[in-house]
Structure 1
Amino acid sequence: MTPPPGAPHFLSAAGWTGARIEPLAGDASFRRYFRVEDAEGNRGVLMDAPPPHEDPAPFVAIADYLSGHGFRAPRVIASDLEHGLVLLEDLGNRRMREHLAYHPEEETAVYEQAIDELIRLRDIPPADVPRYTQAKYIEEAKLLTEWFAPAAHLRVDRAGYETLWRELLAPVIAAQAKPVTVLRDYHAENIMLIGENRLGLLDFQDALAGHPAYDLVSLLQDARRDVPQALEAAMLDRYLAVTGEGEDFRTHYALLGAQRNAKIIGIFTRLWRRDGKARYLSFLPRMWKLLERDLAHPALEPMRRWFDDNVPEDRRAGLIAAGSDA
């Protein structure tokens, strides 16, 4: 977490000469974050999104979109898109995941706030971003067969897997004819608690225009935090009660849950195999449990049979053994 070489010059040009730069966080991409503080005590967050691996322009654009519609995204103080540097407003330290670890009694109230943000998001025009196409959904779901299957030494029916997704996702594509902005990583590690009744949003640079159930799945089937099933059900009910969505929406929720969880299993395996980030293997048992719950929905019966035939239960979480080859 050494700051990028151009950071002091960039900060000086933005009026933050001599600011202290301290590591804050990295994530599953090439992006890194640093907290900066100037001599007057002003604090900000430096995003390092190095090209060609990363492009910070979408983050800046979505931040402006969200802020323009009354959401609490970090204000962009300065940017050098050519070199992948962005100075952001610091939204503080009260991240949803850690806050609830110390204040579990607030879990329902905080999740209600997070649900209400998604309800607000569906009520505004979608951002000027690409569509979440069927091809994109399938490309993501294939990460499981491309990365997990070989890591687990499994030979699977890839063609059958893709065909099933193409068929199962057809109603989702039809239902998103009027899309919403899908933030795509809307979960407890990307939500900040600000004041009493405000939520700050982070990590939305990959937003697409798609189905509103996707972000619900991100939140309620969190890859990094156990969300009680009763809470998941209550929050889904809350969303449906306000929006007037019906049973078809529950089916789409299960379909997109299975798609997203299959994708994440593939991504976390890739982070281990390709990038040497073995810690992501510890999340696989949770991801398989979530995927299996989604596959239990009657609409996903063909996909459940595919998994039963191609990925034996005893191989589904077996990669976590000390980060070694399965």
Structure 2
Amino acid sequence: MITRHLADEAETRRFGEDVALALRPGDCLALVGDLGAGKSTFARSVIRTIAGDPALEVPSPTFTLVQDYELSLPIAHFDLYRIADPDELDELGLDEMLARGACLVEWPERAAGRLPAGSVTLTLMHAGAGRNLTIDGTGPAMDRIARTLELRDFLRRHGLEAATRRPLGGDASARGYNYVDLASGETRILMDSPRAKPGPILREGKYYQQLAHIAEDVVPFVAISGYLRRQGFRAPDVLAADLDQGILLLEDLGTGSILDAGGAPIEGRYADVARTLALLHAAPLEENLPVPDSLVHAVPPFDRAAMQIEVSLLTDWFLPWKTGGGARAEDATEFTAIWDDLIDTIADGEQHLLLRDVHSPNIIWQSAPDLSDRVGLLDFQDAMIGPTAYDVASLVQDARVTIPGDMGERLLDVYLDARRDDHSFDAERFRRDYAIMAAQRNCKLLGIWVRLNQRDGKPGYMRHMPRTLAYLDAATAHPVLAPLRDWLVRTGILGSESDR
């Protein structure tokens, strides 16, 4: 149970904003309180926040019994005061709405226990000029509401109690982001990244995050951001942090994209990112990065264990999905052996800091005279030290956007041209490593798309599957990848030359 005092109507509206950001399909909030206790104020704030429209007309459902809103999260506002029998809930469509969205239910006591398990009850009671709030429930919705209130408490501790929060979105991980609008008109970014929970033990007594060196808290983000900024790159400044709770207040780098309004790549902007990567890979490398509170982040290596656990996603998730059964043991063993040889091959290649996901969602582009001001870098908490070709491959074969093959070749040439004056740089060896890293990344992505769909309930990522297969096909055309290509053809993942 959580209790709060809401001093006035403005705090009640802010509470509605906070809860709106925590809601997911299937959530049901039961609103309890006398007339005038603030139930409607809260409900309007929730609906307007989800709509992104603070002026949205939100009529009371007192006479209609239910008002539906087809928003990014569909939501229904019920008022059960006038129902005569709980069975009327079937006619009102409560279950249908919960199957695709969230519900706010005033006078829930009239439902006579018909609300779903996992509902959260919010009780509002008059208390002077304000109201006292009690939140009661169990399950995921209650956990998310508790977390969103922790985020508000974080803002309060940093003097931003009255700031407005609105949706920004998340990513394929458990991280979430909000815009924070200040009274001055400035905007900040609130990063919500709770400490990762250990997964099942896979190999060597370690779980996936440990084997793949995935960040389990926000310390790496703070460390890498500091390094990038010290080297003159545009990364968000960390303005406030709670490292234990995994909450960061970040500089807002803006919204400019390297894609056009239709979602197509803008080649000149991608070229700017390629030049930025060339500068990064020529910058002094720091392996132990300072973090506030006298901490140090040791940047992990993109080593054999990390590469192998990533590509194993193909045999663990993609291949069973494609064939309708598990991967044959001999196929998985051969796949691992092929990658062991490829990892040995790149051992003599260039090593530097890898940001790991240098593609369109993680780049902010702004018009500016200087390259360092044009390209903003995001989402680098999983950075490692490994083959520099990896980040170039993640850009040139953007996982979210189709980069035509001829454009990809030109972007690769932009990077190579930018490294031309570096006499220690071997362009041919880099092209070899680029092909291997592109293949490694796309093998991983094929498994990730299926895992996101089957385990995490995020089917939207499956739309990237054809692009990823096409990228893998292109990467494995390099002679060094002939054994991998033969394996991919034999297992039916790629077509043979005669099918092309």
Query: What TM-score do the two structures reach when normalised by structure 1?
Result: 0.90
Task: Tell me what 1:173 maps to.
Answer: 347
Which entry has the higher C-alpha Rg, 1 or 2? 2
Q: Deviations over 1:211-249 (max 9, x none)?
A: 111000000001100112111101111222232432221
Is the 8 Å Cα contact of residues 125 and 180 (structure 1) preserved in structure 2? Answer: no
Given the alignment, which residue of 456, 460, 464 partners 1:275? 456
**How far apart are the structure 1 equivalents of 2:407 and 2:163?**
43
Cα RMSD for the two superposed structures: 1.7
Q: Deviations over 1:23-62 (max 9, x none)?
A: 1011000000000012222210000001234411110110
Correspondence list, 1:18-57, <5 A: 18-53=162-197, 54-57=216-219
Amino acid in the other structure paired with 1:134: R
Task: Tell me what 1:185 maps to.
Answer: 357
- Segments of 5+ residues of structure 2 without an aligned counterpart are 1-20, 23-146, 198-215, 288-298, 421-425, 496-500
Task: Tell me what 1:109 maps to.
Answer: 268
Correspondence list, 1:258-269, <5 A: 258-269=439-450
- Segments of 5+ residues of structure 1 without an aligned counterpart are 315-326
Q: Deviations over 1:138-160 (max 9, x none)?
A: 11111110111122224341000
Is 1:147 matched with 2:309?
no
**How far apart are the structure 2 equivalents of 1:287 and 1:91?**
29
Is 1:235 matched with 2:411?
yes
Is the 8 Å Cα contact of residues 37 and 43 (structure 1) preserved in structure 2? Answer: yes
**How far apart are the structure 1 equivalents of 2:442 and 2:468?**
6
Amino acid in the other structure paired with 1:116: R
Give the helix-richer structure, 1 or 2: 1
Task: Tell me what 1:297 maps to.
Answer: 478
Return the offset for 1:256: 0.7
Return the offset for 1:313: 4.5
Correspondence list, 1:80-99, <5 A: 80-97=242-259
Q: 240-249 vs 300-309, which deviates more?
A: 240-249
Flag the structure with more relative contact order, 1 or 2, with Cα contacts below 8 A and sequence separation at least 6.
1
**How far apart are the structure 2 equivalents of 1:127 and 1:273?**
39
**How far apart are the structure 1 equivalents of 2:390 and 2:304?**
13
**How far apart are the structure 1 equivalents of 2:175 and 2:257?**
18
Amino acid in the other structure paired with 2:431: R
**How far apart are the structure 2 equivalents of 1:312 and 1:217?**
21
**How far apart are the structure 2 equivalents of 1:170 and 1:312?**
24
Is the 8 Å Cα contact of residues 95 and 190 (structure 1) preserved in structure 2? Answer: no
SS of match in other structure, 1:172: helix
Q: Deviations over 1:181-212 (max 9, x none)?
A: 10000011100013424111000000001111
Is the 8 Å Cα contact of residues 21 and 36 (structure 1) preserved in structure 2? Answer: yes
Return the offset for 1:16: 1.3
Is the 8 Å Cα contact of residues 193 and 247 (structure 2) preserved in structure 1? Answer: yes
Is the 8 Å Cα contact of residues 355 and 382 (structure 2) preserved in structure 1? Answer: yes
**Number of corresponding residues:** 309
Given the alignment, which residue of 275, 279, 282 partners 1:123? 282
Query: Sequence identity of aligned pairs in percent?
Result: 39
Give the strand-richer structure, 1 or 2: 2
